């Protein structure tokens, strides 16, 4: 029996809430809270009669700590799931501390106003000391560690897919497959087509900031930063095909560098089509990605927020998006004195996700892990005073729970069927290789087509080096 407060009612939150309601023996009561209560009410009506979970709704401004405290104290939840914007992480954490409630989110904190002098001073100091310039990082939330420890509360950070499941993959690989992990490459591929010339699959502000920022990776104990989109690779993704992917900065690198002992290099790659890149560069060139307010006809507007209003709502992409995603991790390291390569990944079909929850696969693969992380906390498997990222907990029960939509799990070249938790498709047969939504799929070296990680990344990779990155492997 548990009572959960979900803050947010966008695409990801909608998926997480629907999945929570499928596990109604654990999620017995749920309150959906958002700035727009009408959206919460609509989702509650959609779920009426489909779950035993008792659903209520509320209006709250997640930027207002006092409003949050009032809501939390009135509802008295066992857990607050923050599936709103990363701008609001700190205010919600403050409210949880004030009310004595456990906390979780899907993405680390970043500021809405990057010109704020107080934030800017701290940010510039971090850039100089840490060696990377992305606006988002864990330092702001890690600063809450002692507060949560002293309060006897748990804060779980970044429990989506990447970050989130990718870190669980790392913990799983370290626990079961390696004595020492040397390199980690996180590969995020969206092979979906929504038919628009330009759109983003999640919040445009967050997405465009992330993509247009300088790239960075961890190597030999320090950060290496490169210009945006300076390193490009081509990779043949299972069930998707050949895609161009680019090295980006991503938050899980920061935590994995601290939690995976002796790791020598961690990188993150994401795929982009040429149309997306052309539009993004054009918008950036004319200042539309700026977070600095401008005065237009006597009214102050933020260019990137105005752009967000013009672009298609990511939550509207579900009906028209076709294709699959493929997200996973490739590891190299040593097991029993022998060098080893290991690949574990997820494949998810956009249309199958839409049929089930009315969402495209990007929201699906973020919302399902959020529900699974909440499940871990509510059942006591991931409860420890302090502030933690996913890889700091036991990955096994989490990944077992994440196999909500899975038929098969490839381990060491063998197809093994596993019973799933909260599965809505229990009639899947073992050995089906064409499953529509694979949440866990791992293969050892040689099993992932033409690609390999040591030396040349792929037989047909085309590597573009930025200045100062000559010889990058």
Residue 202 has a pLDDT of 66
The rounded distance, in Å, linking the Cα atoms of 62 and 64 is 5
Tell me if 83 sits within 8 A of 10, measured CB to CB: yes
Tell me if 331 sits within 8 A of 181, measured CB to CB: yes
The rounded distance, in Å, linking the Cα atoms of 280 and 170 is 32
Residue 311 has a pLDDT of 83
List pLDDT tens digits, range 89-101.
Answer: 999 999 999 999 9
The rounded distance, in Å, linking the Cα atoms of 232 and 228 is 10
- Average pLDDT value over all residues in the chain: 83
DSSP result, 286-305: TTTT--S-EEETTEEE-HHH
| DSSP tally for the chain: helices H, then strands E | 15, 20
The rounded distance, in Å, linking the Cα atoms of 404 and 473 is 36
Residue 404 has a pLDDT of 58
Residue 307 has a pLDDT of 86
Positions of the chain with pLDDT under 50: 405-472
> Which two structure tokens, joined as six digits, stand for 70?
């009032």
> Which two structure tokens, joined as six digits, stand for 423?
């599965």
* Cα three-residue angle 83-103-375, rounded to 5 degrees: 80
**Kind of pairing, strands 324-335 and 409-411?**
unpaired
The rounded distance, in Å, linking the Cα atoms of 399 and 397 is 6
Residue 187 has a pLDDT of 96
Residue 423 has a pLDDT of 24
Burial of 438 (0-12, 13-18, 19+ CB in 10 A): buried
**Kind of pairing, strands 29-34 and 54-59?**
parallel
Residue 213 has a pLDDT of 82
* Cα three-residue angle 424-189-311, rounded to 5 degrees: 90
| List of residues 6+ apart from 367 with CB closer than 8 A | 11, 12, 13, 14, 15, 16, 17, 18, 19, 83, 160, 357, 359
DSSP result, 31-93: EEEES-HHHHHHHHHHHTTT-SSEEEEEE--TT-HHHHHHHHHHH--SEEEE-S-GGGHHHHH
Provide the residue ranges of all domains of the chain, joining segments of one domain with +.
3-157, 165-355+407-444
List pLDDT tens digits, range 126-183.
Answer: 999 999 998 889 999 999 999 999 999 999 999 999 999 999 999 999 999 999 999 9
> Which two structure tokens, joined as six digits, stand for 101?
């409630």
DSSP result, 105-140: ESS----S-TT-HHHHHHHHHHHHHHS---S--SHH
Same fold, 3-157 and 165-355+407-444: no
Q: Report H helices in 131-236.
A: 139-142, 145-151, 165-176, 204-212
This prediction has a pTM of 0.85
Residue 441 has a pLDDT of 43
SS3 426: coil
> Which two structure tokens, joined as six digits, stand for 147?
């507060």
Under CATH, to which class is 165-355+407-444 assigned? alpha beta
Under CATH, to which class is 3-157 assigned? alpha beta
The rounded distance, in Å, linking the Cα atoms of 306 and 327 is 31
Residue 201 has a pLDDT of 67
Residue 411 has a pLDDT of 36
Tell me if 191 sits within 8 A of 325, measured CB to CB: yes
**Kind of pairing, strands 241-247 and 232-237?**
antiparallel
């Amino acid at each position: 029996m548990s009572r959960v407060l979900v803050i947010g009612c966008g695409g990801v939150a909608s998926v997480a809430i629907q999945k929570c309601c499928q596990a109604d023996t654990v999620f017995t009561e749920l309150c959906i809270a958002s700035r727009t209560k009408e959206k919460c009410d609509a989702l509650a009506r959609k779920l009426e009669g489909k779950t035993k979970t008792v659903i209520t709704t509320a209006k709250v401004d997640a930027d207002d700590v006092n409003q949050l405290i009032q809501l939390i104290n009135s509802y008295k939840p066992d857990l607050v799931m923050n599936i709103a914007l990363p701008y609001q992480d700190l205010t919600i954490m403050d409210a949880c501390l004030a009310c004595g409630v456990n906390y979780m989110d899907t993405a680390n904190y970043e500021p809405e106003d990057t010109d704020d002098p107080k934030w800017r001073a701290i940010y510039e100091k971090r850039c100089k000391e840490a060696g990377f310039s992305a606006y988002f990082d864990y330092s702001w939330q890690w600063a809450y560690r002692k507060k949560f420890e002293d309060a006897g509360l748990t804060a779980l950070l970044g429990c989506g897919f990447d970050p989130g499941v990718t870190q669980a993959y790392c913990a799983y690989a370290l626990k079961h497959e390696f004595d020492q992990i040397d390199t980690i490459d996180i590969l995020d591929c969206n092979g979906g087509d929504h038919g628009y010339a330009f759109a983003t699959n999640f919040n445009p502000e967050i997405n465009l900031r992330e993509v247009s920022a300088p790239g960075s990776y961890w190597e030999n104990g320090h950060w290496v930063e490169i210009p945006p989109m300076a390193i490009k690779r081509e990779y043949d993704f299972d069930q998707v095909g050949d895609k161009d992917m680019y090295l980006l900065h991503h938050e899980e690198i920061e935590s994995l560098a601290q939690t995976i002992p002796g790791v020598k290099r961690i990188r993150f790659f994401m795929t982009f089509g040429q149309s997306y890149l052309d539009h993004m560069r054009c918008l950036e060139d004319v200042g539309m990605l700026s977070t600095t307010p401008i005065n237009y006809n006597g009214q102050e507007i933020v260019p990137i927020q105005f752009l967000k209003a013009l672009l298609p709502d990511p939550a509207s992409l579900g009906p028209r998006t076709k294709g699959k995603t493929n997200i996973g991790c490739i590891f190299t390291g040593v097991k029993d004195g022998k060098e080893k390569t290991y690949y574990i990944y997820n494949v998810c079909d956009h249309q199958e996700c839409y049929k089930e929850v009315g969402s495209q696969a990007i929201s699906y693969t973020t919302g399902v892990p959020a529900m699974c992380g909440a499940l871990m906390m509510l059942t006591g498997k991931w409860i420890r005073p302090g502030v933690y990222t996913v890889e700091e907990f036991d990955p096994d029960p989490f990944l077992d729970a994440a196999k909500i939509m899975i038929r098969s799990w490839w381990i060491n070249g063998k197809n093994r069927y596993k019973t799933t938790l909260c599965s809505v498709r229990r009639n899947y047969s073992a050995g089906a290789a064409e499953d529509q939504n694979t949440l866990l799929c791992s293969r050892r070296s040689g099993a992932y087509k033409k690609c390999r990680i040591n030396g040349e990344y792929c037989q047909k990779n085309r590597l573009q080096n930025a200045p100062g990155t000559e010889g990058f492997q």
